[in-house]
Amino acid sequence: MFNLFDCSAFETSTSVQAINDILFPVVLFVVIFWLMCEIFLIDVRVEDNLPAVDEKFTSNTVQALIEKDNVSLNAENDQIGSGVDTGRQNLKALGIRKLRDFCRNSKIKGYASAYNQSGLDGLVEFLLAKQIYAHQIEQ
């Protein structure tokens, strides 16, 4: 009866449909391709602008750092070695009787077998392995 809207008024023509079918995918591809190029080519431009580092300078610097670390490591090892020797001497100075009494009273297991196998030196090594030092025994 009252047909206010004519369907033909809202239809797109075949020429517009053909242009949309071809143009939309092409434009979409171009936009995506452009964005991807910007993303990846900016990284390349940044890498090209980095200053070159002299290889001789870096190898000399690295070598100097390695030598410095080796010197400090050797100094630390000397201090640790002398500390262990001092601890061993302090334990031996206490005497076998005091060491065995301490182990018995502290109920440390395994001291007898260490003493039986190697004597005083074995007991001293056993106590050092357990991280027991002379100042702890003297208390």
Domain range list for the chain: 1-51, 77-139
Is 87:134 a contact under the CB 8 Å cutoff? yes
Sequential pLDDT tens for the chain (139 residues): 555 555 666 677 788 888 888 889 999 999 999 988 888 877 665 555 656 555 666 667 777 777 777 777 666 655 555 556 777 888 888 888 888 888 888 888 888 888 888 888 888 888 888 888 787 787 7
* Residue bearing tokens 């936009």: 31
Between the CA of residue 130 and those of 26, 99, 105, what are the distances in Å? Answer: 78, 13, 15
